[in-house]
Amino acid sequence: MSIQTILLKLSCVAVVSLSLAACGSMPSMDGVFVDQKESYKRAHELPSLEMPPELSSGAIKDEYDGAVRTESFVTKKSVVKTTPLNEPTLAPAEIFTLGDVSYLLLHDNFRTSWRKTISALEELNYDIEDKNREKNIVYLNISDEVNDPGILSSLTFWKKSATSVYKLIFVEYSDSIAVKVQNDEGVFINNDVSKQIYNDLLSKLAQ
């Protein structure tokens, strides 16, 4: 081994030794970079809330009588009872009057109103000449000399006298049926005969 090689190795060893000695003599870094994690965490924490004594007990003072009472709170499972409203009950039948015009008003569907009216006419002994369900018409033979057609029209004696044909027209409304009287010419009438028919039917259909 040459002298130059030996000197080179010794120089390298000396440089490394001096470097290690220099690092060991450097001052400590403790205290230079302080861990601020806990301080940062505490700075962003909200302070704890304090409950006032008058609210913590669940009691609320009544400002009117000075008493202390416990307020109850409604939950989702609470059942609230309500009183239903009393709806007015309509009569099965009534005589409706508007100005000088009157007619019988039945609070029912057409099928039931038709059936009940025919039954009432038969019970009242009216002379039913014909019935046309498709046209909503009932034809009645009423004596011109009878003041009470509901009672006397069934007597054969009165059938020999002069009679007139009257029509009962059934008019459908959204929630009721109107029964109106026409003469044989198809004109709506409002006289003693029509009023008598309405009153007779009302006595049966309003029950």
What residue ranges do the domains of the chain occupy?
A: 93-205
List of residues 6+ apart from 190 with CB closer than 8 A: 100, 101, 102
Residue 109 has pLDDT above 60, yes or no: yes
Instruction: Tell me the pLDDT of the chain averaged across its residues.
Output: 76
Q: Read off the pLDDT of residues 11-46 as tens digits, 9 standing for 90 and up.
A: 777 777 777 766 666 655 555 556 666 766 676 666
Burial class of 43 by CB neighbour count within 10 A (0 to 12, 13 to 18, 19+): exposed
Beta-bridged to residue 95, according to DSSP, are 104
Who has greater pLDDT, 89 or 24?
89
H/E segment holding residue 109: none
Q: What is the mean pLDDT of residues 178-207?
A: 93
Q: Does residue 193 register a pLDDT over 70?
A: yes
Please state, for a pLDDT cut of 90, what percent of the chain lies above it.
Answer: 41
CA distance 131 to 144: 21
User: Among 4-8, 9-13, 114-118, 149-153, which stretch is predicted with the lowest mean pLDDT?
Assistant: 149-153
- Collapsing DSSP to helix, strand or coil, 58 comes out as coil
Query: Number of C-alpha atoms within 13 angstroms, CB side, residue 126?
Result: 28
76 phi and psi angles, rounded to 5 deg: -65, -25
Which homologous superfamily does the CATH classification assign to the domain defined by 93-205? Outer membrane protein assembly factor BamC (3.30.310.170)
Q: Look up the pTM and report it.
A: 0.52
CA separation for the pair 53, 51 (Å, rounded)? 6
